Amino acid sequence: MPTITAFENSPDRGRGHARDMRVRWAFEEVGQPYDVRLLSFAAMKQPAHLALHPFGQIPTYEDGDLTLFESGAIVLHIAERHDGLLPKDANARARAIAWMFAALSTVEPPIVELSMAMMFERDRSWYAERLPGLQEHVRIRLGELSRRLGKADWLDGAFSAGDLMMVTVLRRLNSSGLLDEYPDIAAYVARGEARPAFRRAFDAQLAVFNAASRS
Amino acid sequence: MPTITAFENSPDRGRGHARDMRVRWAFEEVGQPYDVRLLSFAAMKQPAHLALHPFGQIPTYEDGDLTLFESGAIVLHIAERHDGLLPKDANARARAIAWMFAALSTVEPPIVELSMAMMFERDRSWYAERLPGLQEHVRIRLGELSRRLGKADWLDGAFSAGDLMMVTVLRRLNSSGLLDEYPDIAAYVARGEARPAFRRAFDAQLAVFNAASRS
């Protein structure tokens, strides 16, 4: 059974924004059981973990003699080996993978930049002046995404690993209010969150956080 | 023959930092000819291009009835279909793909954030105060990457699509001086730039810029 790593005590307080959520959700979509090894922040920067993940992050993936890092690579690896996350048709498969890269390379960076500023720059002199520009960068991407998505359920035909990545990236905006400006995208995220596999993955990571809080 | 899109007049003035460079390099590594359609900034945001690329960027990839966007997805697509960019061994192949995602998701965002600030925030009141933090984020990633790379030629065995993506991402730092602090990484980037396939791709994109400058 593959083993992944996750935060022992997630800084998102169990809201499922940590990147192990993507891998958990992928496992649940394809019906593949997995083990989880929890790591403290200190352990993530120790040699034992750095041997698995050069950047000292979570998640990692270990299965036999294969070790992987990067949530995108792990989800793609799972999707290539099990039915349920990539279309059979070669062209549709390539497009689903393109949406995975779009989620990580084009949509996620301005969202992370905004959320980092909201977390770490609130007390800086420039915060009020800089915030509107950061929000605007996110709005541009949301507008483009909304125009492409329209009233469709998913980005390109059936639910795929591309939707899985995009929904997890967009969920970081849940508390920002920005998604409310794009009802089609808010509905898309809600559609992802309503999938039984998402719920199982979400509950699993929440249980870890709740256990850490009680201890 | 596949057709890609590129800037008619690249804002990097032919230094090969635009993302078509990655795709050109991949085509050259596998010995696959390709066509290029050049786009103005205005054309990139028109409906005809948005139908190919929802975020109105370059590059795109068209081959028969398949259209792709995202340089990572296009390079992976090329690498899956031609020898030369992914190992045959399944585990080594998965690790090479993990390095592609690492380049785009973990190493590129702080580099883009730094270079955007250096381009667009120089006149802002906060620039001097904010710059050191941005540089530090990049240094953390470079330090981690350097520790993993060590004296090896490439990130994981033979040159792969993972190295191709990582070298193109790191090249954006060429003018920042930061690479000089990490000689192993500077040598790694130089090793990538010395590959004949890189040179052919670089010269091709430079020729486009030079032609635009003359016209």
Going across the sheet that includes A3-7, the strands are A35-39, A3-7, A60-63, A66-69
The pLDDT value given to residue A125: 87
Nearest-Cα distance to chain B for A148, in Å, is 6
Q: How far apart are CA A29 and CA A188, in angstroms?
A: 17
Q: Answer yes or no: are the C-beta atoms of A20 and A38 closer than 8 Å.
A: no
The residue extents of the domains of chain A are 3-84+197-214, 90-195
For CA atoms B37, B32, B199, B142, the dihedral sign is positive
The pLDDT value given to residue A214: 85
Report the mean per-residue pLDDT for chain A. 96
Indicate whether A215 pLDDT > 80.
Answer: no
pLDDT confidence bin for B215, thresholds 50/70/90? confident
- Inspect the interface and report whether the beta carbons of B72 and A105 lie closer than 8 Å: yes
Q: What is the CATH number of domain A3-84+197-214?
A: 3.40.30.10
Closest in B54, B71, B95 to A68, CB measured? B95
Average pLDDT (B156-160) is 98
The pLDDT value given to residue A89: 98
Q: Answer yes or no: are the C-beta atoms of A101 and A91 closer than 8 Å.
A: no
Closest in B66, B70, B106 to A91, CB measured? B66
Indicate whether A149 pLDDT > 80.
Answer: yes
Average pLDDT (B14-38) is 97
Q: Name which CATH class applies to A90-195.
A: mainly alpha
Average pLDDT (B134-159) is 97
Proportion of chain A above pLDDT 70, given as a percent: 100
DSSP B178-193: GGGG-HHHHHHHHHHH
- List pLDDT tens digits, range A25-41: 999 999 999 999 999 99
Using a CB–CB cut-off of 8 Å, the residues of B that contact A are 50, 54-57, 65-74, 76-77, 91, 94-95, 97-98, 100-102, 104-106, 108-109, 112-113, 124-126, 129-130, 141, 144-145, 147-148
Of the segments A128-132, A138-142, B112-116, which one has the largest average pLDDT value?
A138-142
The pLDDT value given to residue A74: 98
Indicate whether B116 pLDDT > 80.
Answer: yes
**Which amino acid appears at position A14 of this protein?**
G
pLDDT confidence bin for B175, thresholds 50/70/90? confident
- List pLDDT tens digits, range B67-111: 999 999 999 999 999 999 999 999 999 999 999 999 999 999 999
By CB atoms closer than 10 A (0-12, 13-18, 19+), residue B95 is: buried
- Inspect the interface and report whether the beta carbons of A102 and B57 lie closer than 8 Å: no
Q: Chains A, B: CB contacts under 8 A, how many?
A: 122
Q: How far is CA B43 from CA B6, B23, B56, B57, in A?
A: 11, 20, 9, 10
The pLDDT value given to residue B41: 95
Q: Which helix (H) or strand (E) holds A186?
A: helix A183-193
- Inspect the interface and report whether the beta carbons of A104 and B104 lie closer than 8 Å: yes
**Set of chain A residues whose Cβ sits within 8 Å of the Cβ of B145:** 54-55
Average pLDDT (A77-93) is 98
Q: How far apart are CA A191 and CA A187, in angstroms?
A: 6
**Set of chain B residues whose Cβ sits within 8 Å of the Cβ of A69:** 98, 102
Indicate whether B8 pLDDT > 90.
Answer: yes
Closest in B65, B105, B112 to A72, CB measured? B105
Indicate whether B31 pLDDT > 80.
Answer: yes
The pLDDT value given to residue B104: 98
Nearest-Cα distance to chain A for B160, in Å, is 15
**Set of chain A residues whose Cβ sits within 8 Å of the Cβ of B73:** 94, 97-98, 100-102
- The tokens describing B166, both together, are 């990582």
The pLDDT value given to residue B44: 96
